[in-house]
C-alpha cells in the first residue's frame, strides 16, 4: 500500500519517520510540498519518493494524507479532487483540526472514502494520543490508517461528535501538563532546587505516573485506586492532595475542558 503526504511539516515528518521506524517500506512513501525541496529532503532522508505535484502524488498512492494547515486544505482538495473522485479505491486522510467529514466531503463534491485523524504534539516523540473517525472507508482502509498512526503513539476510534472533547483531553491538555510541570518546578525552586532539576524531576514523575496508569489500566485499575495505593494515613501525599483539592484542582481541570470545548464550538 502506497501512502502519500501532501505537506511535509512537523506532523507529516513525525508520522513518516514513525512509519519507517515501525517497519513500513520507505519506498512506499510519497511526498509533495509547496516548496518542492522540502519534499525532496524528506524523501531523501527516509528513502521515499518525491512527487512532482500534488496531482501526481494522488495518481500514485492508495492513501492521501492531507497534512496541510486547515486554511490551505480547500485549495489542495480543489487541485486533487478530479483525480480522487475518479479513483474509488483511494482513501483520503485529513489531519486538519476543526474540519469535519461533511465539510471535506463537500469540498470534494462527491462521497469518497475519508478518515479524519486528530494526533497531538507528542507524535514528534512517538507518544501521540490520536483519534480517528471515518466515513465510506473500508475496514481495511481504516485499519491501514490506524496502523500508521499507531507508529507514533496510541489510537482510538470514536464518533466524530466526540472530537471536540477529545481535542480538549488530548490536543489541548499537553499545554496544561506543561503548565503543571512548570508550577511544580517553581515550587521546587522555592525550596532550593534549581529550575532545571525541578523540571526534570516533575516531568519524569508525570511520565512515570502516566506509564503506570496505562499499564495498570490493562488490569482494569482506575486512577482512584492508584491514588489510594500511594497515599497513607496522615502522610505527606494525602496532605498535598487535599490542599490541591481545596485550591480547586479538579474543578479547574474540568473548567479547562469546558472552556476548550466552548471555544471550539464558537470558532466552528
Numbered residues of the known binding site for NADP(+): 6-11, 67-70
Question: Using CA atoms, how far apart are residues 119 and 49, in angstroms rounded to an integer?
Answer: 24
Closest to 117 measured CA to CA, from 90, 155, 79, 84: 155
Question: Using CA atoms, how far apart are residues 37 and 234, in angstroms rounded to an integer?
Answer: 62
On whether the CB atoms of residues 2 and 60 are closer than 8 A, the answer is yes
Task: HSE, CB side, 13 Å, CA atoms: give it for residue 259.
Answer: 9
User: Helices (H), strands (E): how many in the chain?
Assistant: 12, 8
Annotated binding site for NADPH: 54
Annotated binding site: 6-11, 54, 67-70
DSSP per-residue codes, 63-105: EEEE-S-HHHHHHHHHHHHHHHHT-TT-EEEE--TT--HHHHH
Kindly report the backbone phi and psi dihedral angles of residue 143, in degrees, each rounded to the nearest multiple of 5, phi listed first.
Answer: -65, -35
Amino acid at each position: 500500500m502506497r501512502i502519500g503526504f501532501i505537506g511535509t511539516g512537523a506532523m507529516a515528518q513525525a508520522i513518516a519517520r514513525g512509519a519507517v521506524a515501525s517497519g513500513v517500506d520507505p519506498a512506499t512513501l510519497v511526498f509533495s510540498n509547496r516548496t518542492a525541496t522540502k519534499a525532496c529532503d524528506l524523501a531523501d532522508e527516509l528513502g521515499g519518493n518525491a512527487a512532482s505535484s500534488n496531482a501526481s502524488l494522488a495518481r500514485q498512492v492508495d492513501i492521501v494524507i492531507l497534512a496541510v494547515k486547515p486554511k490551505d486544505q480547500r485549495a489542495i482538495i480543489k487541485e486533487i479532487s478530479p483525480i480522487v473522485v475518479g479513483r474509488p479505491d483511494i482513501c483520503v486522510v485529513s489531519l486538519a483540526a476543526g474540519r469535519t467529514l461533511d465539510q471535506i466531503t463537500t469540498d470534494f463534491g462527491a462521497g469518497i472514502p475519508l478518515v479524519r485523524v486528530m494526533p497531538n504534539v507528542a507524535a514528534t516523540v512517538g507518544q501521540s494520543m490520536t483519534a480517528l473517525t471515518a466515513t465510506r472507508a473500508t475496514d481495511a482502509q481504516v485499519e491501514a490508517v490506524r496502523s500508521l498512526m499507531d507508529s507514533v503513539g496510541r489510537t482510538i476510534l470514536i464518533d466524530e461528535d466526540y472530537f471536540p472533547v477529545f481535542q480538549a483531553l488530548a490536543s489541548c491538555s499537553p499545554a496544561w501538563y506543561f503548565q503543571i510541570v512548570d508550577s511544580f518546578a517553581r515550587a521546587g525552586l522555592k525550596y532550593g532546587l534549581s529550575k532545571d532539576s525541578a523540571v526534570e524531576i516533575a516531568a519524569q514523575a508525570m511520565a512515570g505516573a502516566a506509564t503506570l496508569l496505562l499499564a495498570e489500566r490493562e488490569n482494569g485499575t482506575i486512577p482512584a485506586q492508584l491514588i489510594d495505593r500511594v497515599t497513607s494515613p496522615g502522610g505527606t501525599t494525602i496532605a498535598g492532595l487535599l490542599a490541591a483539592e481545596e485550591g480547586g484542582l479538579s474543578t479547574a481541570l474540568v473548567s479547562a475542558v469546558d472552556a476548550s470545548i466552548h471555544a471550539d464550538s464558537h470558532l466552528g
